[in-house]
Homo-oligomer: A and B are copies of this chain.
């Protein structure tokens, strides 16, 4: 039996569902026969883009609202089997410039979503998209889930609060929930308009458009990356495995690469382009975390997850996607 069969006929709500990861997840769930409702605010600075579901728009419901609207969320949560809770403010720099908005979305709205589950749907199961950002600057590598928490920006603090509300409601109220701490995720549907979600988006755009890729610092910083299909695999595994309940899992990859090498690889795969090593902008330097890569042994052991798509293959598919569909992503619709 295909693992996706577990989702046939299931009602699934995806917050941030017009965004990068949410829309790829929606596509998989629709293909598996799930009844999918997407919640998205379509705030221009965030990741939502209607084109992300252009191919499946007749096969799911799209509800434009903000996770900060407790009344709308309470209505939408009723009757759902699953909640993939992916909506978030993801820009580290924005979180420092407008910390109150980051708090509203990443902490306060999460708490109100969980309160709605408590009041209206205790049988729901939640998977929360958390982030490696809450570890801060690694004290050792690779970073496992026992690594001390030390966020270096407002976003990391608020995401941590959001994550822990989920685990708390699991432990205290029995509302099944788990959290995945995602590392850099990339692929078709990612925001490439600017560097708000990840620097890799604007790199891909610049490579395709023949503009220089800017590598901050000296380019030696190490990172790991997950292709979006692998991240979706992990979300689905977390939603089905009872072993996931109340747990936090790192995602990650055994392919670790420096930013400079990544820029070179991207240019090689693209067939053209150039990169420039430039000093960190001050507002990024203050919250930079240095080298980072994950130990994802816990989710491999508990849920059998490991990434399948190599960085080279993933970048190739991503370049191909934006080469064909870039016009839907370069600028605001």
Seen from chain A, the residues whose Cβ lies within 8 Å of a Cβ on chain B are 96, 99-100, 103, 107-108, 111-112, 115, 146, 148-149, 151-154, 157-158, 160-161, 164-165, 168, 171-172, 286-287
Q: Is the CB of A172 within 8 A of B287?
A: yes
CB distance from A246 to the nearest CB of B (A): 12
Complex: chain B residue closest to A167, CB-CB: B150
Q: A108-B100, A111-B100 are in contact. Are A152 and B171 (CB under 8 A)?
A: yes
Contacts of A157 in B (CB 8 A): 161, 164-165, 168
Q: Which of B96, B154, B164, B287 lies in contact with A151, CB distance below 8 A?
A: B164
Q: Is the CB of B99 within 8 A of A115?
A: yes
Contacts of A158 in B (CB 8 A): 161
Further 7 A-B residue pairs, CB within 8 A, beyond A100-B108, A151-B168, A160-B161: A99-B111, A99-B115, A99-B165, A103-B111, A108-B108, A152-B171, A157-B165
Contacts of A149 in B (CB 8 A): 149
Complex: chain B residue closest to A115, CB-CB: B99
Q: Is the CB of B111 within 8 A of A172?
A: no
CB distance from A170 to the nearest CB of B (A): 12
Q: Which of B107, B146, B153 lies in contact with A161, CB distance below 8 A?
A: B107
Contacts of A153 in B (CB 8 A): 168, 172
Complex: chain B residue closest to A104, CB-CB: B108
CA distance A152 to B246 in the complex (A): 12
CB distance from A76 to the nearest CB of B (A): 19
Q: A103-B111, A108-B108 are in contact. Are A154 and B165 (CB under 8 A)?
A: yes
CA distance A168 to B96 in the complex (A): 10
CB distance from A101 to the nearest CB of B (A): 11
CB distance from A138 to the nearest CB of B (A): 16
Complex: chain B residue closest to A163, CB-CB: B157
Contacts of A107 in B (CB 8 A): 103, 107, 161
CB distance from A288 to the nearest CB of B (A): 11
